[in-house]
Amino acid sequence: MSKENFIDAAGDVSLEQMQLPEDLAGLNIAECKLLCEKIRELLINTVTTTGGHLASNLGVVELTLALHRQFHSPDDRIVWDVGHQAYVHKILTGRCDRFATIRQEGGLAGFPKPCESPHDAFVTGHSSTAVSAACGIAEAFRIQGSPNYAVAVVGDGAATGGMFFEGLNNGGKTRSNLIVILNDNECAISKNVGAVAKYLADMRSSKGYVQTKWAVERALGKTPVIGKPIAGVLKNTKDKLRQNIEQTTMFEDMGFVYLGPIDGHDVEELDEALAVAKSYHRPVLVHVRTIKGKGYAPAEANPGEYHGIPRIDVESKNPEISTDECYSTVFGRELVRLAKEDKRICAVTAAMKYGTGLQFFGAAYPQRFFDVGIAEQHAVTFSGGLATQGLIPVFAVYSTFLQRSYDQLLHDISIAGLHMVLGVDRAGIVGEDGETHQGVFDVPMLTAIPHICVYSPATYEELVLCLRKAVQQDKGLSAVRYPRGHAPKYTLGTKANTNFTHIQGEKTLLVTYGRITAEVGKAADALRTDGISCGVLQLTTIWPLDDAVLEIAKEYENVYFFEEGDEVGGIGEKLAGMLLESGYRGNYRHNAVHGFVHHASVERCLEKVGLTASEIVKFVKEQHNG
Amino acid sequence: MSKENFIDAAGDVSLEQMQLPEDLAGLNIAECKLLCEKIRELLINTVTTTGGHLASNLGVVELTLALHRQFHSPDDRIVWDVGHQAYVHKILTGRCDRFATIRQEGGLAGFPKPCESPHDAFVTGHSSTAVSAACGIAEAFRIQGSPNYAVAVVGDGAATGGMFFEGLNNGGKTRSNLIVILNDNECAISKNVGAVAKYLADMRSSKGYVQTKWAVERALGKTPVIGKPIAGVLKNTKDKLRQNIEQTTMFEDMGFVYLGPIDGHDVEELDEALAVAKSYHRPVLVHVRTIKGKGYAPAEANPGEYHGIPRIDVESKNPEISTDECYSTVFGRELVRLAKEDKRICAVTAAMKYGTGLQFFGAAYPQRFFDVGIAEQHAVTFSGGLATQGLIPVFAVYSTFLQRSYDQLLHDISIAGLHMVLGVDRAGIVGEDGETHQGVFDVPMLTAIPHICVYSPATYEELVLCLRKAVQQDKGLSAVRYPRGHAPKYTLGTKANTNFTHIQGEKTLLVTYGRITAEVGKAADALRTDGISCGVLQLTTIWPLDDAVLEIAKEYENVYFFEEGDEVGGIGEKLAGMLLESGYRGNYRHNAVHGFVHHASVERCLEKVGLTASEIVKFVKEQHNG
């Protein structure tokens, strides 16, 4: 489109009037800078209202712009690792008008979603997958004879995940158009996140070496950046020069051309680096340095406080790191108390110190606290190593990210019967982060592990009791799972315990566990008011099931199970099987989550899957009348 | 013990008379060499009879000996990655007398097993876990103030697994006594296994550089190798020297001291290198070169043929790579036929080309064949990348190793509804490899993934039909699972199909799927002879369950489900739940595997879990009379 359509006489750029991403290529550098300002404004105004990831998106404004200038999405495919930094990408690919709806029910998703736009190349939400996905896309292009590029954008935090290395290892040997952008915002820099972070820090600090290198790349690769044949000649020359003047990097060792570090807030430098990267027609890694939160006044006025927390909690999906009382902080504080009594207790996190409430432990017992970076597989097996020496590792992790550790839990921990405790945070519906983050699959996964004990407390008091039991009394692998956020105010009013709670009723029993016990309890109250007496059975130990649970259920004509987790492989399915085998002849219904739950508030998600008090009342009445 | 007790006048060493591992330290180099010969003799004589891993163990004879000379197991902990190369370790740690029982029921396990011996530091059987486990052990030592060492022995094949990097990344930043032995037998060297292999090859070939380096280490570290203080001084000197004369390696970039390459068949050089490694008191990586099959006459007479196959199939647990007809070859051959018809079909393996029968595909369509090395996570997400571009990836993988991909299947494939096919080989009991390798957990895992379709054919003909349907007709994620080895001769004699087969009976229905359909069929025949008429319902599509399956089951008074897979989360549990919810009032029993199954022959394992024809007959009669 002609520039007149979106740049007025005074030179002001209108984001809304642009045809995106097509119009980006025609902008000059000054216009790009102006556009970046507009984008930052939109980001700040929107995200401070809707919630979501602000700092990481502010950091990639220029990078995203440059990517869409140099690559032609959706023909070229851009895969955003973790995905929470794709807001600018959404704005620049025709979703500017709907940006205010982000993370809200029916609105834009907070993560890339191919069904939302052809520009979203791959579902991302979990870390360190982008190089593997882009490697597959690039190989498909090669097979199909397509000249297109596959680009993976990976934060340095995600570079600690093993999948990133598996991807590099396989990508580095191809001869495909694979470009990896390492978005290095130093978020992984802390004493806890390991050698890769240290390595990147070393690369950044050794200016002479890297700057010289980039200067050579520039001198040989530019003016003008041209097609394959000439670039090939240049490349050979460069390679010879390079051997004499430079050391190799880890990425070059793995088969990638290394370019960098590039100033990720300089569109001109980015343009040039990406053009050079394209000219190679072989795997290239572009190391881009960005500043998280770039351009946001509060961050600039108080960078220490502002950057301090998100910088470490690299994969945190919500800026909910307050020390307000919530399940995570109750867990974290209790663990400190336990660790005071017992020096064997260690705490492990995979880059989620604040999200899981382990900051208290980290401060109190730094020698027994391990932040392994985004490396859930290592976290479990490392914990197993600690356990073999008689220590008691407690790994606190979000339900959805624990999926990475299935094999390690089964093979490295359970076969040997090692004593390890999982704090499974964000278990159940998480809401606005949507299907990539709902914690509804941990129960089928965990219960498949022989000899495990799984607790799902409803209240803070129960959480404390379950954690103490898991750490102090259990022998093998135990998991204590609890939801995101605050405990409901409503409780059954009974004495907290780690086993189960039964409130007697007449013909109908409502069985449940965890946070939605409050919804089931409220439903039972409402039904009682309407003359329908329902018993309530709240499980706190959800696996293995106590024989007494079976006996109680068998006393009722109707047993309805309500489960904030997936139906398939859920506790409701297991109880049904046990009831049938034990000769139960009543009516049984299992109300649970069916597959992936789209983004919306937790309350709305629960309502949609039929797990709020009013939906439960409706269901029971239907059964009663039907 | 005095040497006279195990060395006779002629200088001959008696392995049986030694007190192991204690006596190893007192041997001179000549005696070590003699002992190595004895060990090789024992290995060859035993393993050619019992089956198991011969070549990989022949390759680590000197290395294992040197490890037990320099480290004091079980105070120092040696973790064997993958674990199939721990036979020599078993021989040298008091299990020489029982070595002939290896992999046999009641005998020594083919993998390290802490409950078998205190010298087995960690359960290993799956790849790339040892650095993480040893890192945990080393950190425990640090916390406890113990001066002991944690040693991880990792093959170069396992170095392609992401966990290896997660482990190095975290290990490299510690200040603990962590020593990683990279046992480089070039088994991962093929054009298919990626950049790490290429990197190691480069290191090996650039003799000048590495030899110089090692020479420096030796010159500064030896004569005599002494305690901490002096070694510290030497280390600093070395570090300064090193900066001037050498490039750094990838491992040094990650925080490890790099020593190597060392000749892994020279006990003297190994002794020295390990002594130097111990002196650092910080993470050290020792790069040891060994020859797989070293010292075995057939291998030396015909190294090409002998090394050719195990070299690539690095994680293969059995030398069963013949082209005899078996489930794997039927799968592999059919996939070639399908790929001839449809150019979109790609095949992916994680270092199991021969084990999974993909060698035919690799030969026929090398451009569409991908061996990603031991990297099951990458394999799935890479396949997802291929799928986004309209290709049809088929990932053939052993059931037990697929556990590594749970998160990728759920998050990267299923949410987006990408079309991908899994060939789940070694599904069910595998026998002699024991609990680390039984394929009894894939059904709970796979069925927890929304929208998946799971097939479990019993015969070759059904396998072909299921694979064709999965590839050609299904839309999202499908899995075709089949056992190790040959199909049973017995069949139900009905027409093969992909859905289910029902043979009418009177009051009792026997439900099953997969290979043990033959056992259930034979049991039904035997019961019929005894006047008990049982129906047989064989499921071929095991998930989701067809409504017709439910209707058939409801016609029977007794429904007994027989499942070659774990009880918890199995199909038998799901059918029970569905039957109860649909108002079924009959008797139901679920006969399945309960947790981990110890090593024994497949037949014996099936018998122990009650899944042979005679056990099934016994069970039905008990129910009938009881």
Reported ipTM: 0.91
* pLDDT of B50 over the 90 cut: no
> Active-site residues of B: which are they?
292, 376, 404
B234 pLDDT above the threshold of 70: no
**B436 to A165: CB separation less than 8 angstroms, yes or no:** no
- Nearest CA-CA distance, residue B179 and chain A, Å: 14
Residue B221: count other Cβ atoms within 10 Å of its Cβ. 22
| Structure tokens, B607 | 């018998």
Please compute the mean of the pLDDT values over residues B102-118 and round it to a whole number. Answer: 97
pLDDT of residue B361: 97
A623 and chain B in contact, CB less than 8 A: no
Q: Are B377 and B404 in contact (CB under 8 A)?
A: yes
Q: Among partner residues A384, A576, A596, which is closest to B415 by beta-carbon distance?
A: A596
Among B135, B367, B415, beta carbon nearest to A143: B367
Q: How far A472 CA lies from chain B's nearest CA (Å)?
A: 19
Find how far residue B159's CA is from the centre of its chain: 14
User: Chain A partners of B244 at a C-beta cutoff of 8 Å?
Assistant: none
Nearest-CA neighbor of A95 among A79, A75, A110?
A110
Question: Hey, are the CB atoms on B161 and A160 less than 8 Å from each other?
Answer: no
Q: What is the pLDDT of residue B205?
A: 52
Q: Which two tokens stand for residue B19?
A: 């007190």
Residue type, B605: C
User: What's the pLDDT tens digit per position in A117-130?
Assistant: 999 999 999 999 99
Is residue A384 within 8 A of residue A411, CB to CB? The reply is no
- Touching check for B626 and chain A: CB below 8 Å? no
- How close B328 gets to chain A, by Cα (Å)? 23
Which chain B residue's Cα is nearest to A558? Answer: B581
| Residue B406 to residue A401: CA distance in whole angstroms | 11
Cβ distance A183 to A158 under 8 Å?
no
Residues in chain B, total: 626
From chain B residues 310-349, the ones with a CB under 8 A of any chain A CB are 346
User: Nearest-CA distance from A371 to chain B in Å?
Assistant: 9
Cβ contacts of B566 on chain A, cutoff 8 Å: 448, 450
Concerning whether A404 is annotated as a catalytic residue, the answer is yes
The distance of A147 to chain B (nearest Cα, Å) reads 13
**Which tokens belong to B587?**
């008797």
Q: The tokens 């590839």 sit on which residue?
A: B471
- Average pLDDT of span B68-72: 98
Residue A458 token pair = 């409803």
Per-residue pLDDT tens over the stretch B378-392: 999 999 999 999 999
Low-confidence ranges of chain A (pLDDT < 50): 188-192, 206-247, 302-322
Q: Which residue of B has its CA nearest to A254?
A: B195
Mean of pLDDT values over B499-511 = 98
- For the ranges A230-234, A497-501, B245-249, B261-265, the maximum mean pLDDT occurs at A497-501
Question: Each residue of A50-89: pLDDT tens digit?
Answer: 888 898 999 999 999 999 999 999 999 999 999 999 999 9
From B133, B164, B198, residue closest to A255, measured CB to CB:
B198
User: Cβ separation of A136 and B385 shorter than 8 Å?
Assistant: yes
Point out which residues pair with B558 in neighbouring strands: B508, B587
- Are the CB atoms for B329 and B425 separated by under 8 Å? no
Enumerate residues 449 to 468 of chain B having a beta carbon within 8 A of any beta carbon in chain A: 450-451
Q: Give me chain B's average pLDDT, please.
A: 89
Task: Please report, rounded to a whole number, the percentage of residues in chain B having pLDDT higher than 90.
Answer: 79
Determine the pLDDT at residue A86. Answer: 97
CA distances from A170 to A136, A138, B187 (A): 10, 12, 16
Backbone CA torsion sign across A468, A474, A476, A482: negative
pTM of the full predicted structure?
0.92
CA dist., res. A104 & res. A83, Å (int)? 17
Q: How far apart are CA A566 and CA B448, in angstroms?
A: 8
- Round to whole Å and give the CA distance between B544 and B540: 11
| Positive or negative: CA dihedral A32, A35, A41, A47 | negative
Q: Which of A272, A376, A462, A615 is catalytic?
A: A376
Q: Contact B129/A404, CB-based, under 8 Å?
A: no
Q: Could you give the C-alpha distances from A620 to A428, A587, A614, in angstroms and in order?
A: 22, 12, 10
Instruction: State how far the Cα of B229 lies from the Cα of B160, in Å rounded to an integer.
Output: 36
- Residue B349 near residue B371 (C-beta atoms within 8 A): yes
Query: In chain A, which residue's Cα lies nearest the Cα of B124?
Result: A412
Residue B77 near chain A (CB below 8 Å): yes
> Which residues 231-290 of A have a C-beta within 8 angstroms of B?
247-250, 253-255
Q: Pick the catalytic residue: A292, A311, A317, A469? A: A292
Kindly report, residue by residue over B437-471, the tens digit of the pLDDT: 999 999 999 999 999 999 999 999 999 999 999 99
Q: Which residues contact B25 (CB under 8 A, 6 or more apart)?
A: B69
The rounded distance, in Å, linking the Cα atoms of A20 and A68 is: 9
Sheet of A558-566, strand order? A500-503, A534-539, A508-513, A558-566, A587-593
pLDDT tens readout for residues B171-215? 998 999 999 999 998 764 343 345 666 666 666 554 433 444 444
User: Is A551 in the active site?
Assistant: no
Residue B252 pLDDT level (bands cut at 50, 70, 90): confident
Q: Which residues in chain B have Cβ-Cβ distances shorter than 8 Å to A441?
A: 410, 448
A209 touches chain B (CB under 8 A): no
Q: Which tens digits make up the pLDDT trace of B514-525?
A: 999 999 999 999
End-to-end Cα distance, chain B = 62
Q: Which of A77, A168, A393 sits opposite B195 (nearest CB)?
A: A168
- Is residue A372 less than 8 Å (CB to CB) from chain B? yes
Q: In A, which residues are within 8 Å of B572 by CB distance?
A: 577
CA B428 from centroid of its chain's CA atoms: 15
- Residue B421's H or E segment, with its range, is strand B420-425
Check CB contact of B297 with chain A, cutoff 8 Å.
Answer: no
